[in-house]
Amino acid sequence: MKRINVGLIGGGFMGKAHSLAYSAVPMFFWPSEIMPVKHTVAEFTDELASEAAARFGFANSTSDWKTLVEDPEIDLIDIATPNNSHAEIAIAALRAGKHVICEKPLARTVEEAAAMYEESRKSTAVNMVAFNYRRTPALALAKRYIDEGALGDILNFRATYLQDWSADPNSPLSWRFQKKIAGSGAVGDILTHVLDLARYLAGEVTEVSALTNHIIKERPLQQSGVDSLGNSKGGSEGPKGEVDVEDEVMSLLKFESGAIGSVEATRNAWGRNNFITVEIHGSEGSIYFNYENRDELQVCFKSDGDDRRGFRTVYTGPNHPNGAALWPIPALGIGYGETKIIEAHDLFLAIAGVEPVRPDFGDGYQVALIDDAILRSAGTGLWTKVPQLNRDTGAVTDGV
């Protein structure tokens, strides 16, 4: 068992999720190839950093993330900061020979994502982008069925990611509403997750036709530096700042395989909290997944016969991907935390040389290329080709 020292940058929502995963990996995946050691956490200020260290179980803390990258004792840099710092930190970490896991979206722009991917190609260290929803066992099971041919040829992919935490115009102007920090709105923040699922389950997206909507143009300035994920603090009287990113997006998709599809995302849908749905139709059957029922994959197979065909529920458990490591009974309850635990374990398998990990920076870059095509399409109103990354050469084509 190899010990690796983790340097975590960012002690917010994702800092919590990743720290939980580092503690939990050996509890679930045992014997563990890698034993993560929570070495140092970096935050904006010394106070925030030492608080994060105490809370998340890190031995040391610092207000300067560069000291983590320069520290020879640190093996893995975990980037859990807002999007504007991903490129600078990841490039520095890769240059220092560190393994890197970076939260999604990989970067604010295609240019930043390209630079990160370029650097990753020069490094022998492991890189990963944290699109964790594909680690939900029910979605990994859907992938298994597709790879086995149980759905036949994929004809159609439909997905939604609907939330409501920003539906209140009085919820504060967090970094997620500022283009200079976030890069984009619903597209980079949440559509990227379902675009990752689209590529994972149905293959490359080659062309898009998109609409975006920008509904809430200003929001109250935050009263502290800590993002509160948009929860309203009640008042609308204080000073406001400009929201310069889109609230909603819908896009039609064409896939390389000939399949077609649609994706949509909004953070303004009252009553929808983390409403990720995926429905796939193939020539031999269909699957449906709803994150509100994370243990369940709805399946319907043509071979079921005319008198019994219909959607039925497979409850994920020990017989399904990663299930043996999780809980001993199907439907006991898969949570967000489990997706992060599986993600960290898969990262460790790659660091241990057992098997490469995806999604990596190349996948994050390809998703950034789709994001960019969607935003351009929404601007022009035209079908727009998605440039394709050739992972062998590192070059990007003009689309296929």
Ligand X SMILES: NC(=O)c1ccc[n+]([C@@H]2O[C@H](COP(=O)([O-])OP(=O)(O)OC[C@H]3O[C@@H](n4cnc5c(N)ncnc54)[C@H](O)[C@@H]3O)[C@@H](O)[C@H]2O)c1
Instruction: State the residues that interact with ligand X by CB under 6 A.
Output: 9-14, 42-44, 48, 65, 80-83, 85, 103-104, 130, 132, 189, 227
What's the min distance (Å) between Cβ of 322 and ligand X? 17
What's the min distance (Å) between Cβ of 87 and ligand X? 11
| Cβ proximity to ligand X, 13 vs 311, nearer residue | 13
- Measured CA to CA, the distance from residue 90 to residue 112 in angstroms comes to 10
What's the min distance (Å) between Cβ of 80 and ligand X? 5
- 356: preceding bond cis by omega (within 30 degrees): no
What's the min distance (Å) between Cβ of 90 and ligand X? 11
What's the min distance (Å) between Cβ of 336 and ligand X? 7
Q: Which residue is nearest to ligand X (CB)?
A: 12
What's the min distance (Å) between Cβ of 33 and ligand X? 23
- Measured CA to CA, the distance from residue 358 to residue 135 in angstroms comes to 11
What's the min distance (Å) between Cβ of 257 and ligand X? 27
169 CB-near residues (< 8 Å, 6+ apart): 216, 219, 236
Q: How far is CA 124 from CA 78, 120, 359, in A?
A: 17, 8, 16
| Cβ proximity to ligand X, 9 vs 34, nearer residue | 9
| Cβ proximity to ligand X, 14 vs 344, nearer residue | 14
| Cβ atoms within 10 Å, residue 60 | 18
Beta strands in 138-270 (DSSP E): 154-162, 205-213, 218-220, 240-242, 248-255, 260-266
What's the min distance (Å) between Cβ of 223 and ligand X? 14
Q: How far is CA 335 from CA 133, 330, 332, 340, in A?
A: 11, 13, 10, 9
| Cβ proximity to ligand X, 8 vs 155, nearer residue | 8
| Cβ atoms within 10 Å, residue 68 | 28
- Measured CA to CA, the distance from residue 48 to residue 68 in angstroms comes to 16
Q: 195-205 burial string, b = 16+ CB within 10 Å, else e?
A: bbbbbbbbbbb
Rounded to the nearest 5°, which phi and psi values hold at 178?
Answer: -120, 115
| Cβ proximity to ligand X, 10 vs 317, nearer residue | 10
| Cβ proximity to ligand X, 96 vs 259, nearer residue | 96
Question: How many Cα atoms within 13 Å fall on the side-chain side of residue 379?
Answer: 7
What's the min distance (Å) between Cβ of 130 and ligand X? 5
| Cβ proximity to ligand X, 196 vs 207, nearer residue | 196
Token digits for 158? Answer: 């439909």
Token digits for 17? Answer: 């999720």
| Cβ proximity to ligand X, 132 vs 316, nearer residue | 132
| Cβ proximity to ligand X, 181 vs 260, nearer residue | 181
Q: Report the DSSP pairing between strands 248-255 and 260-266.
A: antiparallel
Asked if 324 contacts 318 with a C-beta cutoff of 8 angstroms, the reply is yes
Rounded to the nearest 5°, which phi and psi values hold at 8?
Answer: -100, 130
